[in-house]
Structure 1
Amino acid sequence: MTPRVVLVGPPGSGKTTVARELADLLGADVRDTDEDVERTHDSTIADLFVDHGEAHFRDAEAAAVSTALAEHAGILALGGGAVLHAGTRAALDGHRVVFLDVGLSEAAKRVGLNTARPLLLGNVRSQLKTLMDERRPIYAEVAAHVVSTDALTPREVADDIVRWLETGGSTA
């Protein structure tokens, strides 16, 4: 079993929202690894960061991604930092991975002052820029298809991904 599509991208790129739209179009189930981590650990991601640190969270996230890649046949949305784990990047090889890219201004508008995102505490725009600059090459590395979400609705992004799948949707 393998996901039909795996969505990656920074906070504010629309992974969870687009996953729902895409699932609706394809008649598939949605799974979000951030939700898996929270359910497994009976804790919010923010609390996991505070109580156990980022390294513990990243290990839990990598385990959630590995399990979801093996068990889920629908649309899979990964947490924004999941690709930081080398094991996750290796596990994504051979999957249909789509990088939902977003510009800094649009991401900042979408994320706002969301305190549930521990890596964006403080100056959200500055933190988001640093995070995006560091991660963008990694997202591009694991992806077989890239969609810039800035000027598109979630449905338009999902439509783009469906068109890509219809043309063969190569794997990463």
Structure 2
Amino acid sequence: MTGPAVVLVGPMGVGKTTTGMALAERLGTTFRDTDADIVAGAGKPISEIFIDEGEPHFRELERQAVRAAVSEHAGVLALGGGAILDASTRELLSGLPVVFLEMGVAEAVKRVGLDAPRPLLAVNPRQRWRELMAERRPLYMEVSRAVVSTEGRTPEDVAEAVLDALELRKA
């Protein structure tokens, strides 16, 4: 099979990066995060890209970063929370071992915080979180082979649950 060994999707703050690194270690492979790729390529944080160039420009950078990572990376891949908004990205993920990491709004508020530099949560974060999840949950479900809750779990526990969900345990 070509492409990533595992692709993690889910909302901001759910733990895709931390879980992805733990999962890559367990699988003996590498980890890649498309948000980190975007930041490295742009030379500035995502929040500044949103402010300076706008969300449509960021989404184009994100689309390009996902396409490159899916074609080049064979390890564990974490996508930004909104990457699944793009239809071509969802199509690209078809047939790949994608896992939706989920959490509820109370956990999201604890993890993301109310004053973090998250451009999409700048005004009324709890309400905006609910709106984003109402929009994105069906798309996360569409692309995913499995759903794993991160609530009350360490990244190591979540990584173990991902291995179980995808039946990736080594015999």
Q: TM-score, normalised by structure 2?
A: 0.93
State the superposition RMSD in angstroms.
Answer: 1.4
Map 1:1-172 onto structure 2 (within 5 A): 1-166=2-167
Offset, 1:39? 0.8
Structure 2 SS opposite 1:31:
strand
What 5-or-longer segments of structure 2 have no aligned partner?
A: none
**Letter matched to residue 89 of structure 1:** R
Instruction: Give the AA of the match of 1:18.
Output: T
- Distance in 2 (CA, whole Å) between partners of 1:167 and 1:78 is 20
C-alpha deviation, 1:166, in angstroms = 2.8
How many angstroms apart in 2 are the aligned matches of 1:81 and 1:154?
21
- The total of aligned residue pairs comes to 168
* C-alpha separation in 2, matches of 1:114 and 1:25: 33
SS at match of 1:10: coil
1:12–1:102 CA contact under 8 A, matched in 2: no
Distance (Å, rounded) in 2 between the aligned partners of 1:165 and 1:35: 25
Residue 28 of structure 1 contacts residue 75 of structure 1 at CA under 8 Å; is this kept in 2? yes
- Residue by residue, what CA displacement relative to the aligned partner does 1:57-95 show, whole Å, maximum 9, x if unpaired? 001000000000000011000000000011111110111
Q: Secondary structure at the match of 1:115?
A: coil
Which letter does structure 2 place at the counterpart of 1:102? M
- Give runs of ≥4 in structure 1 deviating > 3 Å: none
Q: Distance in 2 between matches of 1:146 and 1:164?
A: 8
Q: Secondary structure of 1:76's partner?
A: strand
How far apart are 1:116 and its partner, in Å?
A: 2.2
SS in 2 for 1:95: coil
Structure 1 unaligned segments of length 5 or more: list them: none
Deviation of residue 164 (structure 1)?
2.6
Amino acid at match of 1:162: L
* 48 and 113 in structure 1: CA distance in 2 versus 1, 3 angstrom threshold: same
Deviation at 1:37, TM superposition (A): 0.6
Please give the TM-score of this superposition, normalised by the length of structure 1.
0.93
2:96 counterpart SS class: coil
How far does residue 167 in structure 1 lie from its aligned partner after superposition? 6.0
